[in-house]
Amino acid sequence: MNILAIESSCDETAAAVVTDGRTIRSSAIDSQVAEHRLYGGVVPEIASRRHCENIVPVVEKALGDAGCTLAGIDAVAVTAAPGLIGALLVGVNYAKGLAYAADKPLVPVHHIRGHIAANYLAHPSLEPPFLCLVVSGGHTHIVRVNGYTDFQVIGRTRDDAAGEAFDKAARAMGFAYPGGVYIDQAAGRGDPDRYRLPKPRVDGAPYDFSFSGLKTAVINLLHNARQKGETVDIDSLAASFQRTVCEVLTDKLCAAARAYGCTTIAAAGGVSANSGLRAALEQMCRAQGWQYFAPPLSLCGDNAAMIGAQAYYEYQAGVRAGADLNAAPSMDIAEGFAQARAQRAFGIPSRPAGSAV
Ligand code: KG4
Ligand code: ZN
């Protein structure tokens, strides 16, 4: 089954053709990051406008690279939640138009479910159940993946997401947006023991995270040093910060895996590209005798192939949307689009025979 998937939830316009949820036939991504960097973060209005400009060439490129036309596509999938509402709406409306014009089923996909599914594209042997650490710019979750469309959130951040903490700490250290990757590079040159940073805990919630105190500690350390005229070893501050974040993430994931009896572990989301985190998770799993999976670096950040992978399993579960599909800026991963299945009767009507589109 060939799915044409579209992703526009943040600052990447992406389209991909994926076969049977596991094989990438093409994956086109147009990133706006260079433009948003000028403003120190994603500007929603600019993101929406660029998606409008980019979506047609990106979808054409994905179809062209896969060597197929719409006739060879069995379903259209689109990220419909969560994300920037104006950005999501571009993909959702384009996908609705395409599904209607080509008379194909439309499958709505939850963005974070897609991040988890990036693992299926790289690891043919990976099947639920497994425990997944989802670490992106907007989300930090420990998710028990009970089935391909059955998710249970075991822990979540109470404030900043891990990627957000990386980006805010990076900004304070003088790096450009998005700074997670620059902290990663600087950390490789620094001494992680040089600065002592707090490891925030959430009382009574052993698997929940809190990163805003850690971010503030970095900002205060830099501020105090500046006031005293002292220089800060940025490489070592980056190394100390990265190690602290990685320890918090791996400690809680390890505790959750033990408590829930999970022996297959996966990582997902933009921050799963972090070299320190990948090494820490691999070491943890090796020490515990657990299986460990992470997407290749090319599939950690936002892309449409991961949406096409998850869409295959949503389709198998009967999830469909119609012309009434709307985008949602926030939605729990456990909720997904089960409702869309219930409303199938209101799906896209077939075009009257012979009608022009
Ligand atoms: O999953 P993603 O591409 O977008 C969202 O859905 O949010 O994640 C983007 C986040 C950004 O915060 C970015 O700084 C972070 O992933 N990131 C990294 C690395 N590469 C990307 N953070 C730490 N180390 C990296 N190597
Ligand atoms: Zn993402």
Q: From the CA of 111, how far away is ligand 2's center (Å)? A: 6
Of the candidates 34, 10, 181, the one whose C-alpha atom is nearest the C-alpha of residue 84 is 10
pLDDT of residue 44: 96
Look at residue 65 and give its three-state secondary structure: helix
Which atom of ligand 1 lies closest to the CA of 137? 7
pLDDT of residue 341: 55
Of the candidates 86, 94, 93, 88, the one whose C-alpha atom is nearest the C-alpha of residue 114 is 88
Q: Where are the alpha helices (DSSP H) in 123-179?
A: 162-172
pLDDT of residue 237: 98
Mean pLDDT, 10 residues at a time, the chain of 357 residues: 98 98 98 94 96 98 97 97 98 97 96 98 98 96 98 97 96 96 98 95 94 95 97 98 98 98 98 98 98 98 98 96 94 83 45 49
pLDDT of residue 345: 35
* Gap between the Cα atoms of 135 and 112, Å rounded: 9
pLDDT of residue 201: 86
Q: Tokens 């896969």 map to which residue?
A: 66
Which atom of ligand 1 lies closest to the CA of 301? 3
Q: From the CA of 273, how far away is ligand 1's center (Å)? A: 7
Best residue among 132, 140, 214, 271 to mutate for probing ligand 1's pocket (most ligand atoms within 8 Å of CB) is: 271
Taking the CA of residue 112 as centre, how many other CA atoms within 13 Å lie in the half-sphere pointing to its CB?
32
Domains of the chain: 2-116+301-340 (3.30.420.40), 128-297 (3.30.420.40)
pLDDT of residue 336: 85
Residue 71's CB is within 10 A of a number of other CB atoms, namely 7
Look at residue 290 and give its three-state secondary structure: coil
What pTM does this model have?
Answer: 0.94
pLDDT of residue 244: 98
Binding annotation for Fe cation: 111, 115, 302
**Helix (H) or strand (E) run with residue 272 in it:** none
Nearest CA to ligand 1 atom 22: 180
Strands 264-268 and 130-135: parallel
Nearest CA to ligand 1 atom 7: 137
Q: Give me the torsion for CA of 153, 328, 77, 30, rounded to 10°.
A: -100
